[in-house]
Structure 1
């Protein structure tokens, strides 16, 4: 991958009338390669082949990787189950009480499957041309939920908030190191998934999510590496906390009102989303996908910083005709613009 000035790329995205399209989409590439999800999430070469196969087939404006929210948790010692055709999930967190939090070591980037994800990003970065590669990672609060148990974490916000903060410190330390390693692979940015922050109030986000993400942003975001914060749990109630992180972009799930999200975000930030990955991309007809895409593009026409995307990672078994309908709608919309 060649060096790309991501600050300039972001500015060009906002300045151009042309609407960029960057769905979070890797699973169709896995299927194009004849591989399984399990193979892709455990082997960096397979993962890279899937990304490159998808890039060769469809005209996205950036490449993205699988949104796997177990990679970092496994590095910390969480037990993971690996279905053949679905994303992995945590079945046993490594800590259960404040004492376990204090004893939990922060892993290195050679732990568990981290090297496979670094290899996937490195391989793709070397192979693609002049478009950005957006890596993926989990956010600190969501990682804490996978290390402690989500229900337990929510209770601990009231019963042991200091212990939660100590766990968040360890999560932040690791994610910062991981993002630096992702930047070193040649990736131009990372989509940081923080869905669990959507389960708490804006005030709690400002205490337990925003400052930790902001620390990572201030440490690793620069002219050649941007952070896009994804929170598919935000229905509009914690957008203020998202914006407080200082990330270069914000990615919203399909529960959010996209126009309201754009109004709440700064005009110099990329704002992305939010076609339903299951209800639209997977479950609708091609005609419905086309119409939903055009409707969203029309609704957001007056926002130059908008990038159309899926609301989250597109799942396995999405019909190719639906993906083609999405890109056809974007192409047809762009053809109506004056350049």
Structure 2
């Protein structure tokens, strides 16, 4: 699938982003110089880590969605509804804060719209559905999704990936899909779906999960065709269930998505917000190349659990207490603690998304701390 962007479109959008007054941070904010010129491109750095090789510095894999929009003076509605805005904002942040991945993640409701859910886009809030699409479980039998390339917001993400490939060739490019479990929560409502898996016939629930899993795989494969190196799999709601329920209702579908992505030649990053300590063995068993760990998880213990596996860990300093509220000195200390606890096969990041109102100097402190560790493995 080819999505064409003109050179004029690329240049004009960059002009608008870079020359608009920075409403969130002001015109007086300046980026400090890089401590030391890097020897590798961001893409080269990531590929080296994936193979367990030495790098000039650890990759910075922070997720920046709301921060990115605010930093570039854009509303979140603009960011989630126009791939050019998302891409240009993220590229600017990658350049200013020395990030190593350009990721098409923005919100969890893109696939929901492709299934037919009503999705509202607040001016400066996260997209949401005002009412569950699946009000009654009998509707599951009739549930069908539009092809991702034919649904406006999934198409917009495909355009994001290809646009990134055009303007950010030196970066690792990340696509994103909702995990099957999380997507069922999006379509049914999280409270109702959690009750469903506790009270309803498992076969009925698995039919629902099959449909959301199939759509995730279709969407992932199209993003890989558009140029994604990594597919993030967001399954946050899966941290709310017991290990036994996780084993039955989340793990098999995560594993299927991972395997489909691998067959297509890309890597995966399994992202489950919250305390996933009790389900780490299953997360590892999915075969995902990268595991995002939230700040509640002991990342050193997770590394020991891996034993000789080359699974890459990503995380996991506290995005609020450390990144949003901490001093640059505290941030540097926590960045180093996480890196030291893991060693090789590691990507630096907060446990989850960078909060929108994080001071720019705090995110820059992450980059400085990573640069000060060079060289690293």
What residue in structure 1 maps to residue 110 of structure 2? 71
1:51-102 deviation line (CA, Å, top 9, x unaligned): 2111221222222233411111122122333222232223211002221111
1:280 aligns with 2:318: no
Contact 1:28/1:317 (<8 A) preserved: yes
Is the alpha carbon distance of 1:209 and 1:235 closer, same or farther for their aligned partners in structure 2, counting shifts above 3 Å? closer
Choose from 327, 333, 350 the match for 1:310.
350
What residue in structure 1 maps to residue 311 of structure 2? 269
Is the alpha carbon distance of 1:5 and 1:23 closer, same or farther for their aligned partners in structure 2, counting shifts above 3 Å? closer
Q: Which moved more, 1:153-162 or 1:179-188?
A: 153-162
Contact 1:289/1:322 (<8 A) preserved: yes
What residue in structure 1 maps to residue 153 of structure 2? 113
Does the residue aligned with 1:86 lie in a helix, a strand or coil? coil
State the TM-score, normalized to the length of structure 2: 0.82
Q: Distance in 2 between matches of 1:222 and 1:57?
A: 35
What residue in structure 2 maps to residue 183 of structure 1? 224
What residue in structure 2 maps to residue 15 of structure 1? 53
Q: Distance in 2 between matches of 1:5 and 1:299?
A: 24
1:47-66 correspondence to structure 2 within 5 Å = 47-66=86-105
What residue in structure 1 maps to residue 196 of structure 2? 156
What residue in structure 1 maps to residue 39 of structure 2? none
What residue in structure 2 maps to residue 292 of structure 1? 334
Contact 2:315/2:338 (<8 A) preserved: no
Does the residue aligned with 2:330 lie in a helix, a strand or coil? helix
Does the residue aligned with 2:62 lie in a helix, a strand or coil? coil
Q: Distance in 2 between matches of 1:101 and 1:86?
A: 29
Identify unmatched segments of 5+ residues in structure 1. Answer: none
Q: CA deviation at 1:6?
A: 11
Q: How many residues align?
A: 332
Choose from 330, 345, 364 the match for 1:324.
364
1:277-333 deviation line (CA, Å, top 9, x unaligned): 222222222232222222322333xx3112111211212122110011111111112
Does the residue aligned with 1:191 lie in a helix, a strand or coil? strand
Q: CA deviation at 1:222?
A: 4.5
Q: Distance in 2 between matches of 1:167 and 1:5?
A: 40
Aligned-residue Cα RMSD (Å) equals 2.3
1:30 aligns with 2:69: yes
Contact 1:248/1:270 (<8 A) preserved: yes
Q: If you compute each CA radius of gyration, which structure gives the higher value, 1 or 2?
A: 2
Identify unmatched segments of 5+ residues in structure 2. Answer: 1-42
